[in-house]
Structure formats: structure tokens, C-alpha cells
């Protein structure tokens, strides 16, 4: 779970910086994208907190469900986003970078569920 948490924080904190330095985005678009980013950060912080405080079987079960939800959200997001980016008018480099972000996020999500399950 640690690698998924760390990777998620890296990807989505970086995304917040990109959102708020993009002069082409309206304030509403910046807020909306930041809220989406926040969903990933909430999952990452909640998972880190559960990992830190996990001591008994009941806590472990709750952690498993949290990791499954976190992984499911990450996988779903990246599959949808990959299709959107694939069909959009972006540079090849943009598509490659986002493909790598998606593949790593999905792989770490699967690994986290396997280790927790």
C-alpha cells in the first residue's frame, strides 16, 4: 500500500501545481479539477492513516475495503482518462507521459489489493 500512497501523492500534488499555473483554465475549471484531484489525495491520506493505525482484525478489514475502493477509483479513472487522451488532439509526448502515469497507477493499485486481500 505504501507505494500506491506515495505514487498517488506524487502524481496528484504535482497535478494541483499544474492546474493553478495553467493560464488557459478558468477559475471554475481550476476548482473542478482540484476537487477531482482531492479525491485521490483523500484516499491516499486515509490509506496512510489506516496503515499507521492498523492493529487488530477489525481495523484490518476496514483497511482492505479502503484499499479496494482506492484501487478501484484509480483504475477506473485511468482507464477512462486513457481513452479520452487517446482520442483527443494531444502531442504524442503528452499521451506517452499520461499512459505511463496510468499504467504505473493501475499496477500499484493491483499490487496493493493483492497484498491486502
pLDDT at 3 over 70: yes
pTM: 0.91
Domain boundaries, the chain: 2-116
Q: Are 12 and 44 in contact (CB under 8 A)?
A: yes
**Average pLDDT in the 54-76 region?**
85
**Average pLDDT in the 8-35 region?**
97
Question: Cα dist. 93→18, 25, 86, 98, 99 in Å?
Answer: 16, 21, 12, 9, 10
Q: Are 75 and 109 in contact (CB under 8 A)?
A: yes
pLDDT at position 57 is: 61
pLDDT at 100 over 80: yes
Amino acid at each position: 500500500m505504501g507505494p500506491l500512497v506515495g505514487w498517488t501523492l506524487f502524481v496528484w500534488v504535482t497535478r494541483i501545481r499544474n492546474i493553478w499555473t495553467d493560464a488557459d483554465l478558468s477559475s471554475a475549471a481550476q476548482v473542478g479539477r482540484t476537487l477531482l484531484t482531492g479525491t485521490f489525495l483523500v484516499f491516499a491520506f486515509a490509506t496512510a492513516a489506516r496503515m499507521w493505525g492498523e492493529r487488530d482484525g477489525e481495523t484490518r478489514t476496514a483497511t482492505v475495503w479502503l484499499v479496494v475502493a482506492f484501487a478501484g477509483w484509480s483504475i477506473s479513472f485511468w482507464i477512462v482518462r486513457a481513452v479520452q487522451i487517446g482520442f483527443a488532439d494531444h502531442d504524442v509526448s503528452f499521451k506517452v507521459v499520461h499512459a505511463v502515469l496510468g499504467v504505473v497507477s493501475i499496477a500499484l493499485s493491483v499490487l496493493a489489493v493483492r497484498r491486502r486481500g
